[in-house]
Amino acid sequence: MARRGKKKGRPISGWVVFDKPHGMGSTDAVAKIKWLFKADKAGHAGTLDPLASGMLPIALGEATKTVPYVMDGAKVYRFTVTWGEERSTDDLEGVATKTSDLRPSDEQVRALMPKYTGVIMQTPPQFSAIKIAGERAYDLAREGEAVDIPEREVEIGRLDLVEWLDERRTVFEVECGKGTYVRSLARDMGRDLGCFGHISELRRVEVEPFTPDELVTLEELEAAAALAAPAGETGEDGRIVDPRSERERFATLDALVVDTGAALDCLPQVAVSDDAATKIRLGNPVIVRGRDAPAEADEACVTARGRLVAIGAIEAGMFKPKRVFAGR
């Protein structure tokens, strides 16, 4: 008997700018979105802890090829620091390891904040995905090992004090680059102030190049996916008869997807003809023309009829594809 192949998902491509709810892990979020869209492939652009909520861009299909560009983008977080207690995980989920009766004043906090803007050195949390001798730091920490994690350079574009909820809790907003740990920021500020501190609430507000207006909630996605469920009478073979095409069934859900090319706003964009797009998709270089077409570029992307065709380099006016995208 021939083996039955694994059912292939839909060839849907684009970005779901998911508003991840508190308590859901990033891997679980990807699996949920992939299942709702019946997508053949999915992946996220930067882990968001279960404790955190907010923007988790999830790539579907061909968009997974653009994940590195989103991961390199700036991110904005709004977070609450609770003073007086340092925890093992540097957030609310860990156990208290250091405590203090001291509470910082507004003046003390504001005086400290310039130290944490610009390019700074930061040590990631013990409970983090950093690899130490091939092992994840959080796996070693769960086994009770004290992990020596080397500090590294990160960039913080701005750090704003938003409000004081009470004498123990302060709300901040930070814009930072790739690799920055907000939990480490809260921990280090608490140590400098002599009162200790940890993250008690965390929300990712923005991931460049996406905006909060593009956020879509789990409830909205589930409601749209319900409209894609097969409908109609049962045929003689026991299968549900649905006169709608797959495109019609998923139209409401697919309308929530952001175009794949949106992730590449950081690159020069060059429009080409349909004939040129066909050549590029076959891996062939083409001459790019136009007032805005650069003569040289280490990386650029070309489009045809507004759809992404490929990412590549431009040398002496010739575009050489490195990564091509299907025309769907």
Tell me the one-letter amino acid at 54.
G
How far apart, in Å, are the Cα atoms of 16 and each of 153, 204, 267, 268? 30, 15, 21, 23
Does residue 49 have an active-site annotation? yes
Contact status, residue 272 vs residue 303, Cβ threshold 8 Å: yes
Length of the chain: 328
Contact status, residue 39 vs residue 236, Cβ threshold 8 Å: no
Contact status, residue 215 vs residue 81, Cβ threshold 8 Å: no
Q: What does the angle CA 219 – CA 221 – CA 225 come to, to the nearest 5 degrees? A: 115
Mapped onto helix, strand or coil, the DSSP state of residue 284 is: coil
Query: Looking at 19, 28, 49, 254, which residue is catalytic?
Result: 49
Instruction: Report residue 142 as tokens.
Output: 């769960």
- The per-residue b/e assignment along 118-145, b for 16 or more CB within 10 angstroms, e otherwise, is eebebbbbbbbebebeeeebbebbeeee
Rounded Cα distance, 260 and 246, in Å: 21
How far apart, in Å, are the Cα atoms of 282 and each of 61, 275, 285, 290, 328? 19, 11, 9, 22, 15
Instruction: Report residue 149 as tokens.
Output: 């994690």
Q: Which residue has the tokens 């909820």?
A: 165
Name the residues annotated as catalytic: 49
